[in-house]
């Protein structure tokens, strides 16, 4: 799943100019990935919970932009990775010798809670 998550965010990687920015991109990507696994009728509520409560004092305009970006990522997941139903539980991103090493913990195939 580490390679899958890296492939998932690949079109956006140039915007992540630091380890912190890459970490934030991956956090949004995991939110979108797992959101795509939730039935569509429940997805909006789940995203409201995560993006409203999880972002705290972030301005409403930024929350709106992040919600739109997560929506774009959900569409990417559904289009390009439709058969992968593994939920992402956690990830770590470590920098070593000028490059990043991504490790992902996920559920086994077919156990995303559907």
Residue 29 lies in a domain: yes
Residue 89 has pLDDT above 70, yes or no: yes
Domain tally, the chain: 1
CA 21, CA 89: separation in Å to the nearest integer?
Answer: 20
Residue 112 lies in a domain: no
**CB count, 10 Å around CB of 54?**
13
Residue 113 lies in a domain: no
pLDDT in tens, 57-78: 778 888 889 989 999 999 999 9
Average pLDDT over residues 90-109: 93
pLDDT tier at 110, thresholds 50, 70, 90: low
Residue 114 lies in a domain: no
Contact partners, residue 106, CB within 8 Å, separation at least 6: 1, 86, 87, 88, 89
State residue 111's pLDDT score: 61
Quote the domain boundaries for residue 9: 2-106
Residue 72 lies in a domain: yes
pLDDT tier at 112, thresholds 50, 70, 90: low
Average pLDDT over residues 18-42: 94
Out of 21-30, 59-68, 105-114, which region has the weakest mean confidence (pLDDT)? 105-114
State residue 58's pLDDT score: 78
Average pLDDT over residues 87-114: 86
Phi then psi for residue 92, to 5 deg, are -130, 145
Residue 93 lies in a domain: yes
Residue with the two structure tokens 């970490």: 23
Residue 68 lies in a domain: yes
Residue 85 has pLDDT above 50, yes or no: yes
């Amino acid at each position: 799943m580490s390679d899958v998550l890296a492939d998932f965010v690949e079109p956006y990687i140039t915007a992540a100019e630091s380890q912190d920015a890459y970490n934030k991109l991956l956090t949004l990507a995991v939110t979108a990935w797992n959101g795509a696994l939730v039935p569509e009728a429940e997805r909006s509520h789940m995203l409201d919970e995560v993006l409203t409560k999880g972002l705290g004092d972030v301005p409403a305009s930024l929350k709106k932009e992040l919600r739109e970006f997560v929506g774009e990522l959900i569409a990417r997941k559904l289009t390009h990775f439709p058969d992968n139903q593994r939920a992402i539980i956690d990830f770590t991103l470590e920098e070593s010798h000028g490059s990043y090493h991504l490790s992902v913990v996920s559920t086994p195939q077919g156990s995303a809670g559907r």
